[in-house]
A = this chain, B = another copy of it.
Amino acid sequence: MIKVVFFDLDDTLVDTSRLAEMARKNAIENMIRHGLPVDFDTAYQELLELINEYGSNFGRHFDYLLRRLDLPSNPKWIAAGVIAYHNTKFAYLKSVRGARRLLLELKKSGYKLGIITDGDPIKQWEKILRLELDAYFDEVLISDHLGVKKPHRKIFEKALRKMKVEPDEAIMVGDRLYSDIYGAKQVGMRTVWFKYGKYANRELEYQEYADFTIRSLEELPGILRGLKLEEESEGGSDKEVHAD
């Protein structure tokens, strides 16, 4: 019997990719407005390449952007980028459509909820607290804090220990087939692939590890109800009766 639902954070509960794209585009526009002598497409493509190479949490994107464009370092242009980036991030940070309603419904149905996410712990908590999602969750596990990244077993095993449940009592919902779905399946959890955002058509070689695929978070309660009915009609295995 499923007792715990784990969620990935970015592009599962928080609409991160869309936000990041807006923030980056607005940053480039504001840099150009303040004198950056490059056309939008050139600067934006260079920024995307840079983020691809250095990662999205690299702290000096705009500084390195100027280097890549063969321009002198200019704190005014960098500040213009930083301002527009932060303003966009703070103004447009949103939960994924249906996320809040889903979390409330799951809490009312008695499920314990957890987050299992990669990323910088302070930045991840910033998103959770800015959206006031923290009250829904019993545990938040952030891989950097443990020194690993998903799909490493360690973070999924720790999540189960913290919630005091067996793997078959937990289900993982995430947008990434490799880190979320393959990761959770490795330790024996049920898995729901949320086919959403920029990973909707990537890492398809791991699709076999997804027990369910959804395109909207609203589909999740139906899956949980289905699992419950299935167990009830089967009478449950020894283990499930014991766990219950």
Contacts and interface: CB of A to CB of B under 8 A. Distances in A.
A126 B79 contact: yes
Most buried by B among A76, A134, A140: A76
Interface of A is mostly: helix
B126 A83 contact: yes
Contact of A82 (B83, B126, B142): B126
A76 B129 contact: yes
A161 interface: no
Copies of this chain in its oligomeric complex: 2
A192 interface: no
Given A83-B130, A130-B83, A125 B75 contact: yes
Contacts of A142: 75
Interface in A84-138: 86-87, 90, 121-126, 128-130, 134
Nearest to A33: B129
A173 interface: no
A70 B81 CA distance: 37
Nearest to A81: B122
Nearest to A80: B129
A76 B121 CA distance: 8
> What are the nearest 9 A-B pairs in CB distance?
A75-B121, A79-B125, A79-B126, A76-B125, A75-B122, A75-B125, A79-B122, A78-B122, A79-B129
